[in-house]
Amino acid sequence: MDAIIGKYRVRMEETGLILTHPTRFSFDLTLDEVVRLMEFIKVYQAAIVAAQRDIEAHPQSQGIHLGQ
């Protein structure tokens, strides 16, 4: 199954997940890497959402600062 997330084409295969940028640069993630990415996103989900709200409130802002 293919999906589009922003500028990336995302495809799930039996061996993992492939993220492809329009320039054809791809990330081929194994199932283990996908699970670890999901865990990372889950841990930082609140910070990511807060950063997105800040960007929407202040469109001139750039970047996400997750601490440290």
| pLDDT value of residue 54 | 86
What digits encode the pLDDT tens for the residues 4-47? 999 999 999 999 999 999 999 999 999 999 999 999 999 999 99
Q: Give the pLDDT mean for 47-60.
A: 85
Domain locations along the chain: 2-57
- Tokens 């996103």 sit at which residue? 41
| pLDDT value of residue 46 | 92
| pLDDT value of residue 64 | 60
| pLDDT value of residue 13 | 93
| pLDDT value of residue 32 | 96
Amino acid at 33: E
Contacts of 35 (CB under 8 A, 6+ apart): none
